[in-house]
Amino acid sequence: MDFTVAPASLSRRLGSVATPPRLFHSIHQPNSSILCLAATESYIFGGRQSGDILVWDRNLYSKKTTLKGHEGSVLAMEYAIVKKWLISSSADSTVRVWDTVGLAPFYVLDPYLQPDAGDIYSLAWSQSRETVYFGCQNTSIQWIQFGRDPVMAPPNSQPRPVHKFFAGSHPQYQHTKSLDPPSAFVPTQSSNLTPPPAQCTVLSIPATNIISSAHHGYVYCMAVSPSPYQGSDDLLYADGYSCVYLVTGSGDESVKLWNCSSPAPVLEYTFDCGQGAVLSIAVRKETIYAGCQDGYIKVLDLETKTLVRTIIVHENVAVLSLSMLHSDLYSVSARGQIQRWSASFDCTAELDGHTDSIILSSVVTYSDESGQFQLVTGANDGYIKVWNIETPRSGGTLDGGIHRLVTQREVESTNDTMLYALSRFISIPSVSNSPQHREDCRQAAIWLKKCFNQLGASRSALVSTGETTNPLVLATFQGAGHGVSKKRVLFYGHYDVMAAPARDWETDPFSLSGRDGYLYGRGATDNKGPIMAVACAAAELLRRRSLNVDLVMMIEGEEESGSGGFREAVQKNKDLIGEIDAILISNSTWIDETTPCITYGLRGVVHCSIEIFNDRPDLHSGVEGGATPEPMIDMVKLLSKVTDENGKVAIPQFYEHVRPLTQEESELYERITSITKRPTESLSSKWREPSFTVHNIQVSGPRNPTVIPSRVKSQVSVRIVPDQNLETIAGNLCESLMAIFSESMSPNSIEVKIDHKADWWLGRLDDEWFGFLEASVRDEWGVTPLRIREGGSIPSVPYLEKEFRCHALHLPLGQSSDQAHLPNERISLLSLRKGKAVIERFLSAVGNA
């Protein structure tokens, strides 16, 4: 059976936006993997598994020399630009410091309890503290501060043999087939160490300079913030920061933030990445980029301790190195590819950097010779490749960080992401009432989970609603402020849609198309468009580091089919959802085409099936007509007596608890009438008065004009309003139908069954939350929104209010002509974008209250 699987990544491929990296020069060292790289103004350094560091002249691209000393694979290198030091670490359990001018060794650093530290996978250098930090295979973090901490090794000390536990160790990439064999990445270390050259000073890390079990896995990568960053003309060092942070990534799938204000780093926060081992890290200003084993890059904010975004590079292909040039992020992967990502998380370049090879390392540097920036990559094919790259264009301040100005281009980029995501979302025909689209619905849920994850949700999950119903998607966009009590808003929506026969549409209903300012596609207004507007509003606030509330997205896949299993799933997962302060929905339309609205009331509904039948077969009217009591005549008589000649429902006590019209309501209706020209009586009758409706009559038999059907079934409904009791009305409806039928003394039988029921809902216009929403609409649109009610029902709204004991708000984004459930469903591009902006304003107002 065919079903639609939308591509997982939300990052647009915008290769034509900027010039892609251009290969400038290749350096080849046969039969040797390039495990790590560093570059200065004059040299490129390549670390090999043999323990040697190859030095290449950047002017002539010829081999200058080889730095020897390590007895195990060179696993990491760092260039200390001010000191002009090259710092390297190895599988021999040592860290070495080299002079990059004279190309000679300076220091050998012995970790505490060497060689029990194992392989030293990662390095970081803090210029302001003159400190080297390094991460070890034994899960420890160690450091040494030059000018303060160094302790000379005993004169006769000899390096200890390699600990047998760490012999032959290497990272395991069970999920990344392209990394086989593992030895291509980190080969086995040597079992015999030789003393360092006589001119080296040996420094032993003191016992005070170690954090044991810093992670629950190998410490694969680290960086320091503030970190060196690429200036417009040179490599500059970031100054003016009062605090230094160490950022570490590990095989335990976490990134840890360490405050280095005191001599010993103090753990300040732990980010759970949950995408496999964290193998690479880049830091720029207050933003951390963490490359994961499963092909994801987590974008984390250092100051607010929040997840900003998730980038899918290639699923299940490890991101092994990250480098930055201003706001451009360069990632390299185990597939041999290079990608460039913009500040708006779009892929602006993608190329095969090392075909059929694993790119193990990368670094961005500036070339005095060529007068431009270069990306240097190294792979297991023995090649070092030098790529000319361009500085990113920026419409605002180049390094604005948290408080930078939001440019018009950035706003447009966020809107483009919303439309791009919506086009992917609509392409999945998630029709819940069609068995043939069951798998499409599941794929829609999977895609939406990944979408929320990429947009910055700190967690997203699929929750089962039963064996025969579609899963619920839950995601949390976490507001700034670790450990700070924040308001929590629940947004409810649904990813399932009604069927859309292509013959009735002018365009493909499952391909988003734009025409005359409208976006056409099934689900555009009900309810995929509003879902994307809300999620992208949260993503935009995260990008600006301005989300100060927790936004929980609860998106079901059975709303169009009766919400089967929804209540049970919510009750079972209340701990996962958490406490909620307010509920927001967007699942209806305005009353007209031009005036924004806020819906504050919904009618309830009772759906009922009536069947009248006998035990005889279907009969011929010419043979039996007039001689047998006909179920169809009984049904017609029954339905005709439910309402009187004035259209009033004849169910006992039906109108007894209907609220009288208040002066405030009357004034609201008058304002609406003055704008929309719709009669007040019409509005009142469909918004605040109960009603009875006959939907259809179905018969047994071949349905030709000569048949007397033996079974007749009718579906009816009752709409209820405040303060009618749902259960009482449902019971009275059944009893009344049975009583009317019994009066006919018919020999036929009757069955009455309640198929579905949902309570009425009425919002509070004097509520603080309503005030925030109304002000947000007014500020964005420049007009006071109309306060309207709906004649229809959304069963989940009153239920969620009762379940979480808080008030609900209903913000329609669509116009009255949006054709929800009908052919050529659409939503205005302006309404969608302004709706997103309204949500941003609302969440900001709530968070700042």
Partners of 715 in the beta sheet? 609, 696
Same domain membership, residue 772 and residue 741: no
Q: Do 372 and 298 share a structural domain?
A: yes
Write down which residue in 336, 363, 391 finishes a domain.
391
pLDDT score at 239 = 44
User: Is residue 409 scored above 60 in pLDDT?
Assistant: no
Q: What is the CATH number of the domain that holds 650?
A: 3.30.70.360
The answer to whether residues 566 and 611 belong to one domain is: no
- Phi and psi at 729, nearest 5°, equal -65, -45
Instruction: Check residue 326 and give left, alpha or beta (phi > 0: left; psi -120 to 50: alpha).
Output: left
Q: What is the CATH number of the domain that holds 239?
A: 2.130.10.10
Instruction: Clarify whether residues 635 and 581 are in a common domain.
Output: no
665 in a domain, yes or no? no
Would you state the pLDDT for residue 8? Answer: 79
Which of 742, 758, 774 lies at the terminal end of a domain, its last residue? 758
679 assigned to some structural domain: no
Which residues span the domain enclosing 621? 604-655+690-758
**In sequence order, which residues have a C-beta less than 8 Å from that of residue 681 and are 6 or more positions away?**
none
pLDDT digits (tens, 9 = 90+) for 758-816: 999 999 999 999 999 999 999 999 999 999 999 999 999 999 999 999 999 999 999 99
Query: CA 506 → CA 269, 503, 511, 556, 826, distances in Å?
Result: 53, 8, 11, 29, 12
Q: Is residue 496 part of a domain?
A: yes
**One domain, residues 423 and 569:** yes
- Of all residues in the chain, what percent carry a pLDDT higher than 70? 88
In a domain, 678, yes or no: no
- Both 812 and 698 in one domain: the answer is no
292 in any annotated domain:
yes
Tokens 């079974």 -> residue? 711
Same domain, residue pair 586 and 627: no
With cut-offs at 50, 70 and 90, classify the pLDDT of residue 395. Answer: very low
Residue 408 lies in a domain: yes
Res. 195: pLDDT tops 70: no
What's the chain's Rg over C-alpha atoms?
34
> Which of 122, 124, 189, 125 is CA-nearest to residue 159?
189
513 and 634 inside one domain:
no
In this structure, are 542 and 618 located in the same domain? Answer: no
Contact 203, 86 (CB under 8 A): no
In terms of DSSP bridges, do strands 201-204 and 210-211 run parallel, antiparallel, or are they unpaired? unpaired
Q: What would the DSSP string read from start to end of 7-27?
A: -S----B-TTTSPPPEEEEEE
Strand partners, 472: 463
Q: Whole-angstrom Cα distance, residue 133 to residue 543?
A: 30
Q: Is residue 13 part of a domain?
A: no
Asked whether the predicted pLDDT for residue 242 surpasses 80, the reply is no
Q: Is the domain of 527 the same as that of 580?
A: yes
pLDDT recorded at residue 150: 63
Domain's final residue, options 370, 391, 412: 391
SS3 sequence, 349-387?
EEEECCCCCCEEEEEEEEECCCCEEEEEEEECCCEEEEE
Nearest CA-CA partner of 407 in 841, 398, 19: 398
- Residue 21 in this model has a pLDDT that exceeds 90: yes
Task: Give 152's pLDDT tier (boundaries 50, 70, 90).
Answer: low
Number of compact structural domains in the chain: 3
| pTM across the whole model | 0.82
Q: Are residues 457 and 591 in the same domain?
A: yes
Ranges 27-31, 242-246, 359-363, 798-802: which has the least confidence: 242-246
User: Are both 178 and 255 inside the same structural domain?
Assistant: yes
Q: Alpha carbon 634 to chain centroid distance?
A: 56
Q: CATH code at 767?
A: 3.40.630.10
Helical pair 829-848 and 408-426, crossing angle rounded to 10 deg = 110
Burial 620-659, CB ≥16 within 10 A → b, else e: eeeeeeeebebbbebbeebbebbbeeeeebebeebeeeee
As a whole number, mean pLDDT of residues 93-118 equals 92
What is the C-alpha separation between 207 and 202, in angstroms, rounded? 16
- In the predicted model, what is the mean pLDDT of the chain? 88
Residue 17 domain-assigned (yes or no): no
